[in-house]
Amino acid sequence: MNLKQLSKNLGLSQTTVSRALNGYPEVSEATRNRVRLAADQYNYSPSTRAKGLATGKALAIGHVIPLSSQHEVVNPIFADFIAGAGETYARNGYEMTLTMVEDTQEESIYRGMHSRRSVDGVVVHSPRMNDTRIPLLNEIGLPFVVHGRATGATAPYSWLDVNNKRAFHRAAKFLIDLGHRRIGLINGLEDMDFAHRRRTGYQDALRENGIKIDPTLMRSGEMTENFGHRYTRELLALPNPPTAIMTSSLISAMGARRAIEDAGLVMGRDVSVITHDDVLSYLGNGDDVPIYTATRSSVREAGRQLAEMLLTEIESPHRGTQNVLLEAELMVGQSTGPAPKI
């Protein structure tokens, strides 16, 4: 069923039917109802493609997910983020198109999206330090919002980020207050912007408390269980091992815990652990009392909000950039305790 047939069935012009369905005021309520009824009955809904052609909008948002070419790891937070964003799109009649792409060829993907006008805007995931995508998108004039920030970007742009620096500052301070002096950091990849900020927060807290920063206690890699395990094992094998470890995700924290137990130690007693918790739906941090002490911020909620920001960006382009900085909660769980006496 298409507009033409529907309007013929109703004995109306395509114009009127189109207007009736799109809520234009110059249609009498009587005919509007008649049209709506018929549309329902014949299960008519307009072709997105034709509508897009006619209006010049795609009614679609692009998400380009970078697959780090070396590791082929899909960022585990992405599913929940997308779920959040998807809710917003559904509510507003937008579709979401997803592209998984090796980080080496992102540029051509964005250019393509723009020149074939297949999306009205994009969400930039996993921004890196001095991310090239931001100037690129500004240049080609494709509306975008960034999940995170990119240190080094000069022009203004819209972003939503967690206050990673403060979160890790607070977490480190929390450990220091418990008497810990040797604190390890198992971070995301160093060129990721969030990892940089977290490290800064961590280092600031140490410095402010007169603790010398020891590069041997810092590791960075993909946020997988295996990396968490491997790095923790390495840290615990040091001549002067840390009494506490901070990790960048619940998943690597699980790896850390495994390594701690492999070493015959007890998490929360011998080695404290604080992690960042993205509140992934399939990876709760304990039922009642949190297992891990964690800096906590829902990535799903971030998805919802960021999608909303993008839609307003698209619908009123001259509003200027929007910036949202979410504060992470610091939830105390069972993985932290006072530094063991020597």
Partner DNA sequence: TTAGACGTTCAAAGCGCTTTCAATTTTGAC
Partner DNA sequence: GTCAAAATTGAAAGCGCTTTGAACGTCTAA
CB of 322 to a copy of itself, least distance (A): 24
User: Across the strands, what pairs with 64?
Assistant: 99, 124
Q: Would you call 324 exposed, middle or buried from its count of C-beta atoms within 10 A (0-12, 13-18, 19+)? A: middle
Q: Count residues contacting a copy of itself (CB under 8 A)? A: 61
8 A C-beta contact, residue 247 and residue 275? yes
Q: Does 12 bind DNA (CB under 7 A)?
A: yes
Q: Of 45, 104, 151, 216, which lies in the binding site for a copy of itself, with binding defined by CB under 8 A?
A: 45
- What does the per-residue mask of binding to DNA show for 14-33, with x meaning CB under 7 A? xxx-xx-xx---xxx-xx--
**Residue 28 binds: one of DNA, a copy of itself, none (C-beta under 5 to 8 A by kind):** DNA
Please give the DSSP secondary-structure letter assigned to residue 180.
Answer: -
- Rg of the chain over Cα atoms, rounded to whole angstroms, equals 25
Closest approach of DNA to the CB of residue 140, in Å: 16
CB 120: neighbour CB atoms within 10 A? 22
How many helices (H) and strands (E) the chain has is answered by: 12, 12
Tell me which stretch binds DNA (CB under 7 A): 40-48, 63-71, 87-95, 293-301: 40-48
Residue 127 as a binder of a copy of itself (CB under 8 A): the answer is no
Contact 144, 106 (CB under 8 A): no
* Part of the chain binding a copy of itself (CB under 8 A), chosen from 13-21, 148-156, 193-201, 226-234: 226-234
Among 8, 33, 41, 54, indicate the residue that binds DNA (CB under 7 A).
Answer: 54
Residue 115, C-beta contacts closer than 8 angstroms, at least 6 positions apart: none
Cβ count near 154 (within 10 Å): 9
Per-residue exposure over 45-67, b if at least 16 CB sit within 10 Å of its own CB, e if not: ebeeeebbeeeeebbbbbbbbbe
Show contacts with a copy of itself in window 136-165 (CB under 8 A): none
- With contacts defined by CB under 7 A, name the span among 48-56, 96-104, 209-217, 222-230 that binds DNA: 48-56
DSSP 57: -
Residue 272 bridge partners (DSSP): 244
Tokens of 314: 């698209």
Residue 69 sits in the site that holds DNA (CB under 7 A)? no
Residue type present at position 90: A
Q: Which member of 106, 131, 222, 277 binds a copy of itself (CB under 8 A)?
A: 222
Kindly write out the interface string for residues 70-109 of this chain, putting x where it contacts DNA by CB under 7 A and - elsewhere.
Answer: ----------------------------------------
Q: Which spans of this chain sit near a copy of itself (rule: CB under 8 A)?
A: 1, 43-50, 52-53, 58, 60, 65, 67, 71-76, 78-80, 82-83, 86-87, 90, 95-101, 111-112, 115-118, 222-226, 229-230, 251, 254, 258, 261, 280-284, 286-287, 291
